[in-house]
Amino acid sequence: MIRPEDLRPTKGSVHRRKRVGRGYSSGHGGHESGRGTKGQNSRSGGGVRLGYEGGQTPIWMRFPKRGFRNFTRREYVCVNVDTLNERFEANAEVTPDLLREMRIVRGRNRPIKILGRGELTKPLTVRAHRFAGSARQKIEGAGGKAEVI
């Protein structure tokens, strides 16, 4: 049986990294130093920036740009008050982890917002990232607590 620690690459298949531009003793001639003759890439500091297409109009300029993308926007997972009323017993403590565990909310990283659709008849302690005004009123009106995390 072959053990992982006994595995080795085939002899001659692994090469040392070519250290370009390091003089005659580097084993690459010295004069051109393994960079080839003349041109932008043979010079020190030569080469082109990322995404450069040799003077052709770059792809990011050729594509149409439409609309607006708000990178600072926070996406919330919404849960309504009537869902909490159906799924939880009186005096229960509702947390994001519990909502995920019960599969009321899918996805791990998005914050949770409680919305005010429906009625709440039981007192619940609800911990979430945000509350709609009507949801907060209904939770506190039923004798519960709405706590922002």
Supply 64's token pair: 């149409």
Residue 36 has pLDDT above 90, yes or no: no
Q: pTM higher than 0.85, yes or no?
A: no
Mean confidence (pLDDT) of the chain: 90
Q: How far apart are CA 39 and CA 48, in angstroms?
A: 12
What are the pLDDT digits (tens) for 81-121?
Answer: 999 988 888 888 999 999 998 989 987 789 999 999 999 98
pLDDT of residue 32: 84
Q: Which of 2-6, 28-32, 48-52, 109-113 has the lowest mean pLDDT?
A: 28-32
Residue 62 has pLDDT above 90, yes or no: yes
129 pLDDT tier (thresholds 50, 70, 90): very high
Q: How far apart are CA 112 and CA 94, in angstroms?
A: 11
Supply 141's token pair: 């009106």
Domains of the chain (ranges; CATH) run: 20-67 (no CATH), 77-148 (3.100.10.10)
1 pLDDT tier (thresholds 50, 70, 90): confident
Q: How far apart are CA 131 and CA 134, in angstroms?
A: 8
Q: How far apart are CA 72 and CA 33, in angstroms?
A: 49
pLDDT of residue 136: 92
Cβ neighbours of residue 30 closer than 8 Å, sequence gap 6 or more: 23, 24
